[in-house]
Amino acid sequence: MSNLLTRRLALLADEKHRAVLDGGLRGIERETLRVDPTGHLAATPHPAALGSALTHPEITTDYAETLLEFITPAEHDIAVTLQKLDAIHRFSYTKLGDEMLWSQSMPCQLPAEEDIEIAWYGQSNMGMLKHVYRRGLALRYGKAMQCIAGIHYNYSLDEQLWRILDERENPERKQSAKAYQSDSYFATIRNFRRYSWLLMYLFGASPALSSSFLRGRPHKLEHLSDDTLYLPYATSLRMSDLGYQNDAQSGLSPHENCLDSYVATLTKAVNQPYAPYAEIGTKKDGEWVQLSTNVIQIENEYYSTIRPKRVIRSGERPIQALCSRGVQYIEVRCMDVDPFEPVGINVETGRFLDAFLLFCALEESPPISQEQGRIHTENFARAVKEGRRPGLMLQKDGVDVALPVWGRELLERIRPVAELLDRQRGDTAHAGSLAVQAAKLDDPDRTPSARVLRELRANGGSFSAFGLRQSEHHAAYFRSHPPSAEEAAYFEALAAASLAEQAGMEQAQHGSFDDFVAAYRNSNLCQNVG
């Protein structure tokens, strides 16, 4: 344990400060495809009974019309967050008819590209902006990529915790509280880059996929069965180079050593033309096909395993929010959907993530050089494609080290953080989760990815059949646990309000979509960074 981590843990363990450990917030965004009873992609539009995908705060769609996204309110305790996520699922099942929610990160068997519908958000300018952005994604990455699902874990610490650390470590207060907090979240992100390979080993759950997904793209996967491809030691093919990748983004690696350089890199990418996209143009036969011909259309097109975030105001862009008010929370984006859990993640995983992320926040985190960044990326890539390979080595401080050895060392460094959280809670939930993860390092067969492959091999090797079976199990659970009258009334009210809000936006519409896009694209200039 570093001296800095030791000092910070002692400070937060003090009786007068310990309550700030309860003050952070946890939110989850869970993506999941709607499928028909045979396990094929649903051909129906987003159910109107769920509300408006444009304006509903908890139930929307991601890139494809059939890719639902459930967004929990932010809560102080991950257990409460998961209860809220469970309630969203149970209500949604009352509106799905005979459709089900797909249990996997990698998609079911997909139809032809032209039969995968891009998400639709109505006729308002903002709704059309979201739709055209997704047309651009289809153009750039293909529609199959828009059917990949994940779990996004939103994490913040009590702002008072940052104040306590700032006052102790910087008594002269040479920077603003906002700047210190942003710098601290970027330090957290850098440590996440160093150590997130561990999350992929422990929680990766996509070692196989349907052969229809690759659409004839070249690959080095092996055949598990006629309809299934895999890698024998993979943990997460979703997070490998089979996911969202293209040449335009290959050179895009925003510096995460400070907010200024991060924002500058994304701002440049949003404004820098890319020749192959320029050849296509923004319109075809007078119809919009992408928002711009630049490296990325908007900031969210930059696909990263973790992002600094700020809740945005109406009409505001993510870069603007970060510029003006600093980093408020981080979004962890590398977690696979757990196919053995009805909501895709369990509380034990959440407890580990909380300990891991607090460790990343409190531990020393020097700037990352370009070469170090390359090594972190390589370690992550090895973990997702061959994490369970016996003897797999990662690079650490210029030396090769076995993945399990480094993993155990990391768990020992995280342990005092977990114990501090448990002392505040009065239980052993975080330490207990660490023990479960340690067992996975001792025995790779305990990992979710190994469990998925065992299930596949025991049942004919078909990813599609396995996904359908798990989806049916989860559907049975949710249908046998319908929402309470109070829960149903809450979601019915949200749905009605969201539909009314969308209708109001469309009725109040003024100005052309062309002008709206132009104004939106011109709104990314940042002032007041720092």
Residue with tokens 């319109």: 283
- The CA angle 305-67-308, to the nearest 5 degrees, is 25
Tell me the C-alpha distance between 212 and 112, whole Å.
9
Residue range 288-304: mean pLDDT, rounded: 92
Tell me the C-alpha distance between 138 and 117, whole Å.
10
Tell me the C-alpha distance between 192 and 124, whole Å.
39
User: Amino acid identity of 396?
Assistant: K
- Give yes or no for a contact between 336 and 104, defined as CB atoms under 8 angstroms apart: no
- Give yes or no for a contact between 166 and 196, defined as CB atoms under 8 angstroms apart: no
- Which whole-number Å values give the CA distances from 513 to 250, 319, 467, 516, 523, in the listed order? 31, 22, 41, 5, 15
pLDDT at position 498 is 98
Per-residue H/E/C for 91-144: HHHCCCCCCEECCCCCCCCCCCHHHCCECCCCCCHHHHHHHHHHHHHHHHHCCH
Tell me the C-alpha distance between 142 and 136, whole Å.
9
* Digit-coded pLDDT (tens) for 27-47: 999 999 999 999 999 999 999
Backbone phi, then psi, for 32, in 5-degree steps? -160, 135
Strands 222-225 and 283-284: unpaired
Nearest to 385 by CA among 122, 197, 108: 197
Does the pTM surpass 0.85? The reply is yes
CA dihedral 230, 252, 262, 293 (to 10 degrees): -110
Domains of the chain in sequence order: 3-163+177-521 (3.30.590.20)
pLDDT at position 528 is 43
- Give yes or no for a contact between 308 and 181, defined as CB atoms under 8 angstroms apart: no
Tell me the two tokens of residue 53: 């995908």
pLDDT at position 372 is 94
In the chain, helix, strand, coil percent, each to 5? 50, 10, 35
CA dihedral 361, 365, 370, 376 (to 10 degrees): -60
180 Cβ contact partners less than 8 Å away, ≥ 6 residues apart = 162, 166, 170
If 0-12 CB within 10 Å is exposed, 13-18 middle and 19+ buried, where does residue 261 land? middle
* % of the chain exceeding 90 in pLDDT: 85
Strands 26-35 and 393-396: unpaired
Tell me the C-alpha distance between 206 and 213, whole Å.
13
Beta-bridge partners for 264:
none
Q: Is 243 a residue whose pLDDT tops 80?
A: no
* % of the chain exceeding 70 in pLDDT: 97
Q: Is 530 a residue whose pLDDT tops 60?
A: no
- Which whole-number Å values give the CA distances from 401 to 364, 379, 395, in the listed order? 21, 11, 6
Tell me the C-alpha distance between 38 and 66, whole Å.
15
Beta-bridge partners for 67:
33
Tell me the C-alpha distance between 317 and 338, whole Å.
32
Q: Is 303 a residue whose pLDDT tops 90?
A: no
Q: Is 526 a residue whose pLDDT tops 70?
A: no
Residue with tokens 């996967």: 221
Tell me the C-alpha distance between 51 and 378, whole Å.
42
Tell me the C-alpha distance between 183 and 361, whole Å.
10
Binned at pLDDT 50, 70 and 90, residue 316 comes out as confident
**From 144-153, 165-174, 434-443, the region with the lowest mean pLDDT:** 165-174
pLDDT at position 244 is 57
Nearest to 118 by CA among 91, 92, 140: 140
Tell me the two tokens of residue 525: 């200039």
Give the other-Cβ count within 10 Å of 529's Cβ: 19
User: Amino acid identity of 198?
Assistant: L
Tell me the C-alpha distance between 516 and 409, whole Å.
53
- Which whole-number Å values give the CA distances from 5 to 257, 277, 330, 419, 421, in the listed order? 19, 47, 20, 14, 14
Higher pLDDT, 458 or 174: 458
Beta-bridge partners for 152:
29
User: Amino acid identity of 457?
Assistant: R
* Digit-coded pLDDT (tens) for 253-284: 667 899 998 998 898 899 999 999 999 999 99
